[in-house]
Amino acid sequence: MILTTRLQPFLEHWRAGQKLVVLTAYNVWQSELVEDSGADMILVGDSLGNVEQGRGSTSGVTLEHMMYHTRMAARGRKIIPIVADLPLHSYDSPGDAVESSKLLVSCGADAVKFEGNPKGIAKAILEAGIPVMGHLGLLPQTAESFQVRGKQDTEAKAIDSDARELAKAGCFSLILECVPLRLGESVTQGLGIPTIGIGAGPHTSGQVLVFHDLLHLNSHRKAKFVPDRFAAIGEAIKGALGDFGREVRSGVYPSDKESYH
177 is catalytic: yes
* Radius of gyration in angstroms for the set of CA atoms belonging to the chain, rounded to a whole number: 20
- In terms of Cα–Cα distance, which of 11, 1, 38, 8 is closest to 22? 38
Catalytic residue among 12, 35, 177, 185: 177
Report H helices in 22-112.
28-36, 48-51, 63-76, 94-106
Q: How far is CA 209 from the centre of its chain?
A: 7
Residue 233 has phi, psi (to 5 degrees) of -60, -30
CA distance 195 to 188: 6
Tally Cβ neighbours within 10 Å of residue 175.
Answer: 24
Query: What angle is formed at CA 83 by the lines to CA 116 and CA 236, rounded to 5 degrees?
Result: 105
Report the DSSP beta bridge partners of residue 157.
none
Q: Which residues form the catalytic set?
A: 177
